[in-house]
């Protein structure tokens, strides 16, 4: 579907998914709110985070399926808890990515229904705040050393802003003003620490000291170590992000979330502290421009040299969704009886 001329197709999709709205929230939210048995969650873990599938996702920019078997880091803007659900839906059809990825999430997710499974899976829960920052970076470094290669991980999802847009915007703008940096509204200036730790830990070095990784001239190359940086931008209509309460309760009308990808070979990413910081700033300045254009036009701008941007509807197999839901319901049913048993034993 193209940015212009595809309104009828999108309207048909929206009407079909809208018909599910009355049924899905009542059924699915009940499943989410009951913690599942670990084996069931391991089979349906990723979609447990984002089961409200009437919320269509449109993908823009480069096709990240082409690098699904390579090592990559996704740098994502962070607006609300629903960003995690959106990304998990996007990555379901990207080959082996979901099975071989590592998430860096706020520690609050540790206490959700999928928290224990994420711990078993080797994801990393990071505590926000200046008081924890240095200590958390050391913990992250050790976590990567002990879990990334040993568990055959290949992708990492990172939110470099270090918090939600609404919470960090004012602080970021004050920092930008003090340091003569651009004034950003739709994103905040990224923090350097976690990105630096990840690159130092995962980028393989050639004999001449330069990073080994993807070649900008082709996506078929295979090298050891981290090969790609995927600059990922999430946009919500009317700049109204979806939080976890909305996903659970389903009180907003069906909407379309938009995700834009841009791929950078690791050889093009500077690894020195100052240069990497400036590179990260530039990526988020570009995100600001992308989002400004989206909020004005309803579409991301076309790539350089092209007249029209092309978007792709992210779809999932209905059979696969039904299978995952079956495990989810079974999980909730088993946990209900486990909790009931202990309740009667104690009381």
Q: Please indicate, yes or no, whether the overall pTM of this predicted structure exceeds 0.85.
A: no
pLDDT score for 72: 95
- Predicted confidence at residue 213, as pLDDT, reads 55
pLDDT over 90 (residue 50): no
In the prediction, which pLDDT does 313 show?
A: 86
d(C-alpha 21, C-alpha 17), whole Å: 7
Which residues partner with 211 through β-bridges? 205
The alpha carbon dihedral of 269, 275, 281, 282 has a sign of negative
Please report the pLDDT score of residue 38 as a whole number. Answer: 38
Tokens representing residue 123 in the block: 């994801």
Task: Quote the Cα angle for 181-190-275, to 5°.
Answer: 70
**What pLDDT score does 291 carry?**
96
Q: Is 90 exposed, middle or buried (0-12, 13-18, 19+ CB in 10 A)?
A: buried
Q: What is the pLDDT of residue 318?
A: 77
On average, the pLDDT of the chain sits at: 78
| CA quadruple 82, 70, 98, 151: dihedral, nearest 10 | -120
Residue 204 CA to residue 276 CA, distance in Å, equals: 17
Mean pLDDT computed over 213-225: 49
Candidate ranges 160-174, 222-236, 304-318; pick with highest mean pLDDT? 160-174
Q: Is residue 54 predicted with pLDDT exceeding 50?
A: no
How far apart, in whole angstroms, are the C-alpha atoms of residue 62 and residue 47? 24
Mean pLDDT for 128-140 is: 84
Banded pLDDT at 23 (limits 50, 70, 90)? very low
Per-residue pLDDT tens digits for 160-204: 998 889 888 999 999 999 999 999 999 999 998 899 999 999 986
Banded pLDDT at 21 (limits 50, 70, 90): very low
Q: What does the pLDDT read at residue 323? A: 84
- Token representation of residue 213: 């990784």
């Amino acid at each position: 579907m193209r940015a212009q001329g595809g309104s009828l197709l999108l309207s048909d999709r929206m009407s079909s998914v809208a018909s599910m709205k009355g049924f899905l929230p009542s059924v699915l939210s009940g499943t989410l709110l009951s913690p599942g048995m670990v084996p069931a969650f391991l089979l349906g873990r990723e979609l447990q985070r984002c089961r409200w599938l009437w919320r269509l996702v449109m993908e823009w920019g480069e096709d990240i399926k082409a690098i699904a078997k390579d090592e990559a880091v996704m740098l994502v803007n962070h607006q609300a808890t629903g960003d995690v659900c959106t990304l998990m839906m996007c990555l379901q059809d990207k080959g082996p990515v979901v099975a071989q990825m590592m998430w860096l999430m706020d520690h609050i997710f540790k206490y959700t229904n999928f928290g224990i499974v994420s711990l078993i899976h080797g994801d990393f829960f990071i505590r926000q705040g200046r008081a924890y920052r240095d200590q958390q970076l050391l913990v992250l470094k050790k976590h990567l050393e002990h879990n990334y290669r040993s568990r055959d991980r290949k992708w990492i999802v990172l939110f470099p802003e270090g918090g939600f847009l609404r919470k960090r915007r004012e602080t970021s703008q004050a920092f930008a003003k003090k340091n003569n940096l651009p004034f950003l509204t739709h994103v905040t200036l990224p923090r350097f620490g976690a990105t630096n730790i990840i690159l130092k830990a995962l980028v393989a070095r050639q004999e001449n000291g330069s990073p080994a990784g993807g070649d900008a001239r082709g996506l078929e190359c295979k090298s050891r170590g981290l090969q790609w940086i995927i600059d990922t931008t999430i946009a919500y209509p009317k700049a109204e992000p979806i939080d976890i309460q909305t996903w659970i309760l389903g009180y907003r009308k069906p909407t379309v979330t938009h995700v834009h990808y841009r791929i950078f070979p690791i050889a093009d990413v500077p690894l020195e502290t100052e240069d990497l910081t400036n590179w990260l700033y530039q990526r988020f300045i570009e995100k600001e421009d992308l989002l400004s254009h989206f909020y004005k036009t309803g579409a991301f701008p076309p790539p350089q040299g092209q007249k029209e941007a092309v978007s792709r509807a992210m779809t999932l197999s209905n059979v696969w969704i039904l299978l995952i839901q079956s495990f989810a319901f079974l999980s909730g049913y088993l946990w209900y009886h486990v909790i009931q048993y202990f309740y009667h034993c104690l009381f």
